[in-house]
């Protein structure tokens, strides 16, 4: 183990998988020559243009290339420069890669990874800042991971590349420069397994992606007020590890779900509903969600700050569910 | 082009099989024995057969919503195809795909596809895989005139051209994008002109002439195998049924136009050619026709007797 930043953890996962498995290749806009986020840095020099393929700005063709190449036996790792751009080419996602296996009677195997930087906080405004994971989670046939730490980033991306299904790896831009301990050797963080990032007994905070860090900050603050919060990171949103979330809620009897995506029809709604369905008796307060309001991501700094969920908003929500007990 | 007699006869038989398969499917639809959307390929047989006989078993094809013909041309078995139309277990997709999604990856078929213009980027991906693995494989990509107005087709052409991928784009211009005539949906007359925009060879030919299609596709395939990149081939052709369903399309197409194209029927023409060149006798041709008719009857009987899937099958194969 040694500390490296999140984007280098992803880079290492790619390098090591490409080294291990010659069918793995990387493609997308500028991934070779001029990696936009730096995640694919050095891959072109190491593996050459046949395995690190710069493409025209053609998201549909890029994803279609991945579908056809995967069906023909390769393991493509696609970078879509911003998650927002995925929707230029959503047919290839929804109607092609997600459905080919089922509608072709189980013969197709589509080991595709689509990596997408997501999230706000950098003044990139409405078309380069969104968190649209819920739209992907609604599609049977896909898997969705959102690593929050360098360790999870390397392990989840490695597992995603080895998985025989289309996996979307959504990487929050604010996570890219976060440091953390990462083993040099290869390992997998299994898909569909949540992790308790901080144990606690009074309230469960389920947080995704960058919000894990805001939730941990909030938990530290809450601890000083005598509230012991447990922070759970699902890590994979599809399939979702509800067992881990339910086990925590049965222990704490309260739950707050946090994500950066808008609240309406977000993953938080699904998690809250499943908690209510399966553990209603265990709840001492209604499940609460902390998420973005129902608007596009704004540009101006004070507006964006008001828009994004943060530790303070989490503290407020937790305080209200804890209060619900005492009343 | 010198084609061995056995191959010519096989091509003829395959074309007749497509025609009889589609007529059989139309009959089943009229009798309400099968349901769902159906896009029949009758009329366009020369394109599928001429093209698919230019490639091998390990090469890929990507088909479109009017896909039955390509599957048969690439070696699909009418039994499993009909079983799919009936929604049965023995269907190529075990009843989960239906007419619009019949595919057999073991035969290198990347699907019929219900989304117009979605196949070309996927065909490009299969071609990429062939190039990547250093195989001499190619991929054929079928799409209609309507699809050439989808951005995906332009993206696929451009990407294939820039990466010099071994793919042959085969545009089946049947003059109508769904129900809209070509001159009302695009300003070019010969769609192959668009190949110039990607600096790749483009050719327009008579899509009712199986030998012309075969020759052009064979050349493009050889070029692709030599590593010289993609080509665009436009085949002018005509569908005998409606865009969707079992009508004859007379509501949207002039009677003279339909007669004019019927007079160019690819099967009649190829049969005449084979007999004239003594590749086939009249009696042998009749034998083939009879054999195909029996095969189709047997395939329908097989399909109808095949078990239906059960609720236990509902959630299988969503994930690998």
Residue range A144-195, pLDDT digits in tens: 999 999 999 999 999 999 999 999 999 999 999 999 999 999 999 999 999 9
Nearest-Å Rg of the Cα atoms of chain A is 20
Phi-psi region of A30 (alpha: psi -120 to 50; beta: other; left: phi over 0): left
Active-site residue identified among A128, A213, A253, A259: A128
A-B C-beta contacts closer than 8 Å: 140
What parts of chain B have a pLDDT lower than 70?
Answer: none
Domains of chain A: 2-182 (3.40.50.970), 195-326 (3.40.50.920)
Our CA-based measurement puts residue A145 at a distance from the nearest CA of chain B, in whole angstroms, of 16
**Is residue A326 pLDDT above 90, yes or no?**
no
Distance separating the N- and C-terminal Cα atoms of chain A:
47
For residue A52, the SS3 value is: strand
Query: What is the per-residue pLDDT for A146?
Result: 98
- The band of A324, judged by pLDDT with boundaries at 50, 70 and 90, is low
Domains and CATH numbers, chain B: 5-306 (3.40.50.970)
Mutation choice for B interface testing from A33, A65, A142, A164 by most B CBs within 10 A? A65
Q: CA-CA distance, B314 to B320, in Å (whole number)?
A: 14
Alpha carbon A63 to chain centroid, angstroms:
19
Nearest to B270 by CA among B205, B207, B208, B206: B208
Q: Which residues in chain B have Cβ-Cβ distances shorter than 8 Å to A71?
A: 105, 110, 122, 125-126
Q: What is the pLDDT of residue A323?
A: 84
Nearest to B142 by CA among B66, B218, B82: B66
Query: What ipTM was reported for this prediction?
Result: 0.96
Question: Among B101, B139, B163, whose Cβ lies nearest the Cβ of A104?
Answer: B101
Q: What is the model's pLDDT at position A17?
A: 98
Please check whether residue B137 is in contact with residue B101, taking contact to mean a CB–CB distance below 8 angstroms.
no
Q: Decide if B221 touches A, using CB distance below 8 A.
A: no
Q: Indicate the angle between helix axes B282-305 and B266-276, nearest 10 degrees.
A: 140
Whether the predicted pLDDT of A325 surpasses 90: no
Q: Check if the beta carbon of residue B19 is closer than 8 Å to that of residue B267.
A: yes
pLDDT digits (tens, 9 = 90+) for A2-39: 999 999 999 999 999 999 999 999 999 999 999 989 99
Which residues does chain B have within 8 Å of residue A52's beta carbon, measured at their own beta carbons?
none
pTM given for the model: 0.96
* Nearest-CA distance B255 → chain A (Å): 37
Find tokens 């199986």 and name the residue: B210
What part of B 111-150 touches A (C-beta under 8 Å)? 111, 113-115, 118, 120-130, 132-133, 139
Instruction: For A95, name the nearest residue in chain B, comparing CA atoms only.
Output: B115
**Rounded mean pLDDT, A196-200:** 98
Percent of chain A with pLDDT over 90: 98
Chain B interface, best mutation among A23, A29, A68, by max B CB count within 10 A = A68
Tell me which residue in A50, A65, A141 faces B159 most closely, judged by beta carbons. Answer: A65
Which of A50, A61, A106 minimises the CB distance to B317? A106
CA A52 to chain CA centroid, Å, is 24
How many Å lie between the alpha carbon of A57 and the closest alpha carbon of chain B? Answer: 9
**Tokens 């025209």 map to which residue?**
A56
CA dihedral A263, A269, A271, A274 (to 10 degrees): 170
Q: Searching chain A, which residue's CA lies closest to the CA of residue B120?
A: A64
**What is the predicted pLDDT for the residue at A133?**
98
Q: pLDDT tens, A237-259?
A: 999 999 999 999 999 999 999 99
The phi and psi torsions of A262 (rounded to 5 degrees) equal -60, 150
Q: What is the pLDDT of residues A83-107, one digit of tens each?
A: 999 999 999 999 999 999 999 999 9
**Residue A172 falls in the annotated catalytic set:** no
Q: Half-sphere exposure of residue B158, counting CA atoms within 13 Å on the CB side?
A: 15
- State the pLDDT at residue A204: 98
What distance in Å separates residue B257's CA from the closest CA in chain A?
Answer: 35
Closest residue to A69, CB basis, from B93, B128, B156: B128
């Amino acid at each position: 183990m040694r500390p490296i930043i999140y984007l280098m953890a992803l880079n290492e996962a790619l390098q090591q998988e490409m080294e291990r498995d010659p069918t793995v290749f990387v493609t997308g806009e500028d991934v070779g020559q001029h990696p936009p986020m730096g995640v694919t840095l050095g891959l072109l020099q190491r593996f050459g243009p046949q395995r690190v393929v710069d493409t025209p700005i053609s998201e549909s063709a890029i994803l279609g290339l991945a579908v056809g190449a995967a069906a023909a036996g390769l393991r493509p790792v696609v970078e879509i420069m911003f998650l927002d751009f995925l929707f230029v080419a959503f047919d290839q996602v929804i109607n092609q890669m997600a459905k080919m296996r089922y509608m072709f009677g189980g013969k197709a195997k589509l080991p595709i990874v689509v990596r997408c930087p997501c999230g706000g906080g950098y003044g990139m405004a409405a078309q380069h800042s969104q968190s649209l994971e819920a739209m992907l989670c609604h599609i049977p046939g896909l898997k969705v991971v959102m690593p929050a730490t360098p360790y999870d980033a390397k392990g989840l991306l490695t597992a995603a590349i080895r998985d025989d299904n289309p996996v979307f790896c959504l990487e929050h831009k604010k996570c890219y420069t976060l440091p953390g301990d990462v083993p040099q050797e290869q390992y997998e963080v299994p898909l569909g397994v949540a992790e308790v990032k901080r144990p606690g007994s009074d309230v469960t905070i389920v947080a995704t992606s960058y919000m894990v860090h805001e939730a941990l900050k909030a938990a530290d603050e809450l601890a000083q007020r005598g509230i012991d919060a447990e922070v759970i990171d699902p890590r994979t949103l599809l399939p979702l590890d509800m067992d881990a979330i339910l086990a925590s809620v049965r222990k704490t009897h309260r739950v707050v779900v946090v994500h950066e995506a808008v609240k309406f029809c977000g993953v938080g709604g699904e998690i809250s509903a499943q908690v209510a369905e399966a553990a209603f008796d265990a709840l001492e307060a209604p499940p609460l969600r902390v998420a973005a309001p129902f608007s596009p991501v704004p540009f101006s700094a004070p507006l964006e700050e008001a828009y994004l969920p943060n530790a303070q908003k989490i503290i407020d929500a937790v305080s209200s569910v804890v209060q619900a007990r005492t009343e | 082009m010198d084609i061995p007699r056995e191959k010519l006869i096989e091509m003829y038989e395959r074309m007749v099989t497509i025609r009889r398969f589609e007529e059989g499917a139309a009959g089943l639809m009229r009798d309400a024995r099968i349901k769902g959307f159906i896009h029949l390929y009758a009329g366009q047989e020369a394109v599928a057969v001429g093209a698919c006989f230019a490639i091998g078993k390990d090469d890929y094809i990507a088909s479109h919503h009017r896909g039955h013909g390509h599957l048969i041309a690439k070696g699909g078995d009418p039994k499993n195809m009909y079983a799919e139309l009936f929604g049965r277990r023995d269907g190529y997709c075990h009843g989960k795909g239906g007419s619009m999604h019949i595919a057999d990856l073991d035969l290198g078929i990347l699907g019929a596809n219900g989304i117009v213009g979605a196949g070309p980027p996927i065909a490009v991906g299969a071609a990429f895989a062939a190039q990547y693995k250093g195989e001499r494989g190619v991929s054929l990509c079928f799409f209609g005139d309507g699809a050439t107005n989808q951005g995906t087709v332009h993206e696929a052409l451009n990407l294939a051209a820039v990466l010099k991928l071994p793919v042959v784009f085969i545009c089946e211009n049947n003059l109508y994008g769904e129900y809209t005539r070509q001159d009302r949906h695009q300003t070019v007359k010969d769609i192959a002109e668009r190949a110039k925009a990607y600096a790749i060879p483009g050719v327009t030919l008579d899509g009712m002439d199986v030998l012309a299609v075969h020759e052009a596709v064979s050349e493009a395939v050889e070029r692709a195998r030599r590593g010289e990149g993609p080509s665009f081939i436009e085949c002018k052709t005509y569908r005998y049924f409606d865009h969707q369903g079992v009508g004859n399309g007379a509501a949207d197409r002039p009677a003279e136009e339909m007669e004019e194209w019927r007079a160019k029927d690819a099967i009649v023409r190829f049969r005449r050619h084979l007999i004239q060149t003594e590749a086939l006798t009249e009696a042998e041709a009749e034998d083939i026709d009879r054999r195909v008719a029996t095969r189709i009857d047997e395939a329908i009987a097989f399909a109808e007797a095949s078990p239906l899937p059960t609720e236990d099958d509902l959630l299988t194969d969503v994930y690998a």
